[in-house]
Amino acid sequence: MSHSLNRVEIDLGALRHNYRALQEQAGKGAEVLAMVKADAYGHGLVPVARTLAAAGARTFGVAEIEEGIALRQAGLEGEVIVLLGAPADRLDEVIVHRLSPVVFDLEMLAELSRRAVLAETRVDVHLKVDVGMGRLGILPPELPHFLDSLSRLPGVRLAGVSSHLPMADRPQAAVTREQCRLFMEIAARVRQASPEARFHLANSAAHLNLPETRLDMVRPGIALYGGQPGGPTAGGFRPVMSFRSRIQQVKEVPAGTGLSYGHTFVTSRPSRVAVLPVGYDDGLLRRLSNRAAVLIGGRRVPLRGNICMNACMADVTDLPAVRPGDEVVLLGRQGGEAITAGEIAGWLETIDYEVLCLVGGLNARLYVGAERGTGE
């Protein structure tokens, strides 16, 4: 993979900038819980976490135990919160690797308590309360019983209480306001019994659109990587990922030439076509056929014909001479032009989160902008 014709560049300088901007916005009273789950949104779990740790991050959010173990094996300290919790057969690993699972099941919590006592240690846990996402978490009426039961279990400590807002990109929506009110009520109730617990509700959109949700900790994901979480958000974040390739062949074809499988595009004039070694195996999904554009020589050119598994074609008829080996930007900036993850998401009728995970996970990654002496 390191010899691929295509590469994803990860700008660690932009990542540091975004983290520091988010921490400055959060203020001294709120910590940034750096979301590095899903291989850091396709940016690379360990290199991203190391960069953030060097920039001051002390708490990291992962989806599954394997990601937490990978951080520990890479030497990362600080708290690692496992957002999907832990099944009973993985609890020993939680203890050994000092992970903090999200909890929402009393049976699992009781077993964790038993094993923590046997190991003569204490495990920090974060309780998930569902205020309207309809996903993981206990329902608010279950809270008193859960807290009472948890308080009786040795070997575990309530380190945090969290929830998630499904419509934080619509901050004025009545449902969002009601969910915020409900979580604030829960926080006030729990704080009396567990003053050490930290409360975290704000994802990127809530952090930017609803400052009152910042509380003790914020959980930025997409903003950390320079994406747009939606809603009336503030700017200033720098894209961390770019996707680049090079022209493999340039050919001249007459009018009436069909391009690629199915001839979904037929040239209406004599044309120059650049063949690019990028296809749906690299994350340039077939749905982008005859929709997407790329940057060559600092100018936009359209992709024409169906995208293949490992190749696609761009119409470069209106460009000055281009040659094999010239750089192509599929995501990122070239000269004065840029193609964003959000723009690609629009062509795909999805969200930029999916674009970053897809592209970052399928291509060789090159890290630029590391600071010397930090271990990045």
Would you list the domain boundaries of the chain?
A: 12-225, 241-339
Topology of the domain covering 12-225: TIM Barrel (3.20.20)
Is 225 annotated in the active site? no
Considering 128, 251, 261, 353, which one is annotated as catalytic? Answer: 261
**Predicted confidence (pLDDT) at residue 375 exceeds the cutoff of 70:** no
Is 261 annotated in the active site? yes
Looking at the domain that runs over 241-339, which CATH code has it been given? 2.40.37.10
Task: Quote the pTM value.
Answer: 0.94
Measure the CA dihedral 84/86/89/90, to 10°: 100
At 1 the pLDDT is 41
At 234 the pLDDT is 58
Position 33, amino acid? L
pLDDT single digits (tens) 92-140: 999 999 999 999 999 999 999 999 999 999 999 999 999 999 999 999 9
At 228 the pLDDT is 81
At 257 the pLDDT is 98
At 376 the pLDDT is 64
Dihedral sign computed on CA atoms, order 13, 340, 41, 9: negative
Q: What secondary structure does DSSP assign to 323-376, as a single string?
A: -TT-EEEEEEEETTEEE-HHHHHHHHTS-HHHHHHHHHHHS-EEEE-PPTTTT-
Considering 19, 37, 280, 353, which one is annotated as catalytic? Answer: 37
Matching CATH topology for 12-225 and 241-339? no
